[in-house]
Structure 1
Amino acid sequence: MTRMIRMTLQGNTLDVSQAAPRQVSAFLQKWRLYLVLLGMMLPTLIGLGLFTYYPQFGAIKYSLYNWDGGTTEEFVGFRNFREAFTVDPLFWQSFQLVLILLAANILKMWPSILAAIVLHRLRSERWQYIYRVLFVVPMIIPSIVGLLIWKGFYDAGNGALNAFLNSTGLMKALDRLDVFMAGDGTSGGLVNTAVARAVRDRFEIAGTHGLWWMIMVGVVLILVRMVSGRFFRNRVNPVAAPLTWTAAALLVAAVVLSLLFCVWPTRPINAFAEGTPAWLGNQHLIIPAVIFWGFPWVGTVGVLIYLAGLQNITQDVYEAAELDGVGPVRKLFAIELPLIMTQVRINLIFLTIGTITDYGLFLLLLGPWGGPGSKGMVPGLYMYSTAFLDQRFGYACALGMILFVILLSITILYQKYVKVEK
Structure 2
Amino acid sequence: METRIRRAGILFALPWIIGLLAFYAYPLFSSMYYSLTNYNVISPSQWIGFENYSTLFNDDLFWKGLKNTLAYALMQVPLAIMFGVTLAMLLNLPVFGQGFLRTVFFLPSLLPVIATTILWQWLLNPQFGLVNAFLEKIGITGPGWLGDTTWSKPSLVIMTLWVLGNSILIYLAGLQDISKDYYEAADIDGANWLQKTFHITIPLLTPVIFFNMIMGVIHALQEFTLPYALTYGTGNPAESLLFYSMYLYNNAFLYMKMGYASAMAWILFVVVMLITVVLLKSSGKWVFYQGED
By the TM > 0.5 criterion, same fold?
Answer: yes
Counterpart of 2:185 in structure 1 is 320
Counterpart of 1:46 in structure 2 is 18
Secondary structure class of the residue paired with 2:100:
helix
Letter in 2 for 1:153: L
Root mean square deviation, CA, Å: 2.1
Letter in 2 for 1:99: L
Which of these residues, 146, 163, 171, is aligned with residue 280 of structure 1?
146
Which of these residues, 122, 130, 154, is aligned with residue 160 of structure 1?
130
Could you tell me how far apart the structure 1 residues matched to 2:22 and 2:124 are? 42
Secondary structure class of the residue paired with 1:373:
coil
1:306 matched to 2:164 = no
Which of these residues, 123, 130, 133, is aligned with residue 103 of structure 2?
133
**Alpha-carbon distance change, 69 to 164 in structure 1, aligned in 2, over 3 angstroms:** farther
| Residue-pair matches, total | 286
Counterpart of 2:272 in structure 1 is 407
| Residue range with higher mean Cα deviation, 67-76 or 329-338 | 67-76
Q: Deviations over 1:386-418 (max 9, x none)?
A: 222222111010010001011111112222212
**Alpha-carbon distance change, 400 to 34 in structure 1, aligned in 2, over 3 angstroms:** same
1:366 matched to 2:231 = yes
Counterpart of 2:36 in structure 1 is 64
Could you tell me how far apart the structure 2 residues matched to 1:154 and 1:78 are? 44
**Alpha-carbon distance change, 340 to 69 in structure 1, aligned in 2, over 3 angstroms:** farther
Q: Is the 8 A contact 1:65 1:75 kept in 2?
A: yes
Q: How does 1:242-391 map to 2 (within 5 A)?
A: 277=144, 279-295=145-161, 297=162, 299-391=164-256
Could you tell me how far apart the structure 2 residues matched to 1:158 and 1:133 are? 30
Counterpart of 2:112 in structure 1 is 142
The alpha-carbon deviation at position 323 of structure 1 amounts to 0.9
The alpha-carbon deviation at position 298 of structure 1 amounts to 6.3
Counterpart of 2:59 in structure 1 is 88
Letter in 2 for 1:92: W
Could you tell me how far apart the structure 1 residues matched to 2:232 and 2:165 are? 26
The alpha-carbon deviation at position 309 of structure 1 amounts to 1.4
1:394 matched to 2:256 = no
Could you tell me how far apart the structure 1 residues matched to 2:146 and 2:165 are? 25
Unaligned runs of 5+ in 2: none
Letter in 2 for 1:167: K
The alpha-carbon deviation at position 123 of structure 1 amounts to 2.9
**Alpha-carbon distance change, 308 to 70 in structure 1, aligned in 2, over 3 angstroms:** farther
Q: Is the 8 A contact 2:39 2:46 kept in 1?
A: yes
Q: Deviations over 1:77-127 (max 9, x none)?
A: 111111122x1122122232233223322133211101111233x236x74
**Alpha-carbon distance change, 82 to 381 in structure 1, aligned in 2, over 3 angstroms:** same
Could you tell me how far apart the structure 1 residues matched to 2:98 and 2:7 are? 46
Question: Identity of counterpart residues, as a percentage?
Answer: 32
Q: Is the 8 A contact 1:115 1:298 kept in 2?
A: no
Could you tell me how far apart the structure 2 residues matched to 1:138 and 1:383 are? 28
Could you tell me how far apart the structure 1 residues matched to 2:158 and 2:134 are? 15
Could you tell me how far apart the structure 1 residues matched to 2:135 and 2:101 are? 30
Unaligned runs of 5+ in 1: 1-27, 175-271
Q: Is the 8 A contact 2:68 2:244 kept in 1?
A: no
Could you tell me how far apart the structure 1 residues matched to 2:173 and 2:4 are? 39
The alpha-carbon deviation at position 58 of structure 1 amounts to 1.3
Q: Is the 8 A contact 2:73 2:221 kept in 1?
A: no
Secondary structure class of the residue paired with 1:374:
coil
Counterpart of 1:192 in structure 2 is none
TM-score, normalised to structure 2, is 0.89
The alpha-carbon deviation at position 380 of structure 1 amounts to 0.9
Letter in 2 for 1:378: F
Could you tell me how far apart the structure 2 residues matched to 1:159 and 1:99 are? 28
Counterpart of 2:91 in structure 1 is 119
**Alpha-carbon distance change, 393 to 113 in structure 1, aligned in 2, over 3 angstroms:** same
TM-score, normalised to structure 1, is 0.63
**Alpha-carbon distance change, 348 to 331 in structure 1, aligned in 2, over 3 angstroms:** same
Q: Deviations over 1:28-64 (max 9, x none)?
A: 2x33223222212211221222123211221111101
Larger radius of gyration: 1
**Alpha-carbon distance change, 138 to 290 in structure 1, aligned in 2, over 3 angstroms:** closer
**Alpha-carbon distance change, 33 to 346 in structure 1, aligned in 2, over 3 angstroms:** same
Letter in 2 for 1:286: S
